[in-house]
Amino acid sequence: MGKILKTILEDLEYELVQGSLDTEVEGIVCDSRKAGKGSLFICVPGAVTDGHKYAPDVVEKGASVLVTEKDVRDLLPEDKKEDVTILQVKDARYAMAFLSAAWFDHPADKMKVIGITGTKGKTTTTYMVRSVLESADYKTGLVGTIEIIMGDEHISAEHTTPESCLLQEYFAKMVEKGCQCVVMEVSSQALMLHRTQGFTFDYGIFTNLEPDHIGPAEHKDFDDYLHCKSLLFQQCKTGIFNCDDEHFEKVKEGATCDIVTYGFSEKADYRAEDLFLMEGEGLLGISFHVSGKADLSLKLHAPGRFSVYNALCAITICDQFGIEKGVMAEAVGQAKVKGRIEMIPVSKDYTLMIDYAHNAMSLESLLRTLREYKPGRLVCLFGCGGDRSKLRRFEMGEVSGKLADLTVITSDNPRTEDPQAIIDDIKTGIGKTDGEYVEIIDRREAIRYVIDNAKPRDLIVLAGKGHEDYQEINGKKYPMDERDIIRDIMKDKGMA
């Protein structure tokens, strides 16, 4: 069902270049392939292509409105030039966020919206928060790196945070399915590209910050990365911050929200105390106590200090809802996330886990955490993605060489590169250390190797793939889920 253009222009600055604000609009698109009769097409300039050049195509298809950053009238077919309404704006992406929110009748205003930003911990924390809210009978949607959850519908995610027109469509579906809350990951790219404009977050969360996503197609430098993260706290009512992070003060500069803190610091509103590492029968965990504005004890079936930060963050968020502490403790303790320190119970003699660690920073954090459990051997299996920075390969090789007792170098997603060339780059990094390694190109065979050669008290981590259930080779994604591979290997050994 269409809408009159002027009814979706609230909160938007624009110049009416030609046409009428009473024009009927049948849908909003930024992909010219999806344009049709009555479409409002937003000409978004991108890194790869400029939406303005598709203006004549969408007009031919019957688009009734163009939203542009520059004059496109000379590009339009002569016989249809006068048929289209044109609005010119300063920033097409910013405009798209507000137009999309209005088109879908502002669905975010009908839910409690929780946005989590930071370098690490976003995915796990979103699932923990959703677990608690659902346990307390709040129907909760989720938007993140792995998937979008809208009631009983789960769809795979393409981006950590979708484009604003898609995000608002997801919100609208959540409202339709009765969701009262939504918890979402908010990437620095999304904040930089205005994907989360057009609504206000009830809660914005900062987990931590380390150099990442810096490069020609992302952020020009660390200061730009930090600045983009901090924008969330000008778009939320309450900001929840990890006050232990060294960049905390800088990130909260310019914040326009109320501030709540969590961490190990005595200054934190919600504090973690009395950490105790737990292990046994091939599984690892940690327990701790929350003090300050809450008073409860938690046991996590996940290892290390970073797991405590994730859980403490989730408790801090959910305590704002007034949820009973027993419900919070149980739900956080039971929350599981595919591919994030996911333990696969194959033996009581050794521990096997899958984790998404796919850069040096996350791999180092993971391996240092696992070292605290004093394993017999720490075995790290990983590869690196093709068509990506070689520096990542050198760095990951060096980290694993220093921290693991044995590194098994294998393939990740080689894409268009020769897998052996990628392995050779990783070996350059390992060569800077005294670390032992073996190389097995075929990832299935590499996993079989670590299982066949596992020793009592080994701690084995399959790093890099995490939740992914495919391997990308020469532009094609082939099915490959490490859980299935492990199941098949155990079946072959008669241990399934």
Q: Which two tokens stand for residue 68?
A: 């542009």
Task: Give the pLDDT of residue 495.
Answer: 81
Sign for the CA dihedral angle at 357, 360, 363, 365 comes to negative
- CA 411 – CA 419 distance, rounded (Å): 6
Which residue in 178, 284, 268 sits closest to 276, CA to CA?
284
Burial class (CB in 10 A: 0-12, 13-18, 19+), 376: middle
Task: Give the pLDDT of residue 250.
Answer: 94
Per residue in 365-381, pLDDT tens? 999 999 999 999 999 99
Q: Residue 259 in 3-state DSSP? A: strand
For the residues 483-492, what does the mean pLDDT come to? Answer: 97
Tell how far CA 119 is from the center of its chain. 9
Phi-psi region of 341 (alpha: psi -120 to 50; beta: other; left: phi over 0): left
CB 84 within 8 A of CB 59: yes
Task: Give the pLDDT of residue 215.
Answer: 53
Which residue in 190, 185, 212 sits closest to 121, CA to CA?
185
Task: Give the pLDDT of residue 223.
Answer: 83
Query: Residue 425: how many CB atoms within 10 A of its CB?
Result: 20
Residue 67 has pLDDT above 80, yes or no: yes
DSSP 152-174: TEEEE-SSSS--HHHHHHHHHHH
| Confidence bin at 496 (pLDDT 50/70/90) | low
Q: Which two tokens stand for residue 274?
A: 């009395």
| Confidence bin at 212 (pLDDT 50/70/90) | low
Q: Residue 323 in 3-state DSSP? A: coil
Q: Which residue has the tokens 């990094």?
A: 429
Per residue in 70-93, pLDDT tens? 999 999 999 988 999 999 999 999
H/E stretch holding 239 reads: strand 236-242
Please report the domains of the chain, with CATH numbers, ordered by start residue.
3-102 (3.40.1390.10), 105-334 (3.40.1190.10), 342-492 (3.90.190.20)
Tell which wins on pLDDT, 415 or 159: 415
Phi-psi region of 159 (alpha: psi -120 to 50; beta: other; left: phi over 0): beta
Burial class (CB in 10 A: 0-12, 13-18, 19+), 226: middle
- Does the pTM surpass 0.75? The reply is yes
Which residue in 150, 149, 97 sits closest to 123, CA to CA?
149
For residue 227, list its beta bridge partners: none
- CA 288 – CA 283 distance, rounded (Å): 17
- CA 77 – CA 209 distance, rounded (Å): 49
How large is the greatest C-alpha to C-alpha distance in the chain, in angstroms?
A: 78
CB 333 within 8 A of CB 286: no
Residue 109 has pLDDT above 80, yes or no: yes
Q: Which residue has the tokens 């995915």?
A: 123
Per residue in 229-270, pLDDT tens? 899 999 999 999 999 999 999 999 999 999 999 999 999 999
User: What angle (nearest 5°) sits at the alpha carbon of residue 340, between those of residues 336 and 345?
Assistant: 65
Per residue in 423-460, pLDDT tens? 999 999 999 999 999 999 999 999 999 999 999 999 99
For the residues 306-328, what does the mean pLDDT come to? Answer: 97
For residue 201, list its beta bridge partners: 236
Task: Give the pLDDT of residue 1.
Answer: 76
DSSP H helical segments within 272-338, as ranges? 305-319, 325-334
Which residue in 56, 108, 109, 103 sits closest to 78, CA to CA?
56
Residue 220 has pLDDT above 70, yes or no: no
Length of the chain: 496
Per residue in 180-209, pLDDT tens? 999 999 998 899 999 999 999 999 999 999
Q: Which two tokens stand for residue 475?
A: 């532009």
